[in-house]
Amino acid sequence: MMAHADATRDMDPKTFLGNIILLIVGGNDTTRNSLSGGVYALNENPDQYRKLRDNPALLDSMVPEIIRWQTPLAHMRRTAIADIEIGGKQIRKGDKVVMWYVSGNRDDEVIERPDEFIIDRARPRQHLSFGFGIHRCVGLRLAELQLKIVWEEILKRFATIEVTGAPSRVFSSFVKGYETLPVRIAS
């Protein structure tokens, strides 16, 4: 606990505020939009909803599939720390590079049938929504757990959640989410 207090005390105010904003966005918008995206995906794919109703144990693979399919953050920018060549393109130290999670999560060379929502994928955690390597989200398991618990409770309480109109998306190039998603809930 003391090491954490020392680390935050040594941060300049901009860095500290940046970290707080990142935690709020990372923990709120992404989980909320993944939940809405899951409701939308299951309505668009009623066969997958029937699979889930018939076998609630599929929640373990459905949750990461929702996160992959929804991809709540569209991209992240980094600064190259060394010269490197990737895919035949030269990137120089100091260049700004953008990783488009949305594109990576639809890569048909890595993910079979990437545009389809499939709750029982063989490798459901094979997606980039949480980043990768040293830039992997520290809250990924908490996000998955939150979504799993919410879906467990939804399945216990409601027979259906029916989308009754087209979703309205947020106006953002960063957060891939929903402003509104009209639903009818049947208990």
Number of domains present in the structure of the chain: 1
**Structural element, H or E, at residue 8:** helix 2-9
Average pLDDT over residues 96-105: 92
Residue, of 10 and 165, whose pLDDT is higher = 165
Q: What is the pLDDT of residues 123-173, one digit of tens each?
A: 998 888 887 777 777 777 888 999 999 999 999 999 899 999 999 999 998
Tell me the residue type at 149: I
- Does residue 6 lie within any of the structural domains? no
The proportion of the chain whose per-residue pLDDT surpasses 70, expressed as a percent, equals 94
Contacts of 45 (CB under 8 A, 6+ apart): 116, 117
Cα–Cα distance measured from residue 132 to residue 105, given in angstroms and rounded to the nearest whole number: 12
- Does residue 135 lie within any of the structural domains? yes
- Does residue 1 lie within any of the structural domains? no
Cα–Cα distance measured from residue 182 to residue 177, given in angstroms and rounded to the nearest whole number: 14
Range of the domain at 49: 12-186
- Does residue 175 lie within any of the structural domains? yes
**What is the CATH classification number for the domain harbouring 62?**
1.10.630.10
Strand partners, 161: 185
Q: How confident is the model at residue 8 (pLDDT cuts 50, 70, 90)?
A: low
- Does residue 83 lie within any of the structural domains? yes
* Cα–Cα distance list, 177 to 31, 67, 136, 174 (Å): 10, 12, 21, 9
DSSP string, 99-153: EEHHHHTT-TTTSSSTTS--TT-SSTT-S-TT--GGG--TTHHHHHHHHHHHHHH
pTM of the model: 0.83
Average pLDDT over residues 62-72: 94
* Helix, strand or coil, per DSSP, at residue 1: coil
- Does residue 130 lie within any of the structural domains? yes
Q: Residue 98: pLDDT above 70? A: yes
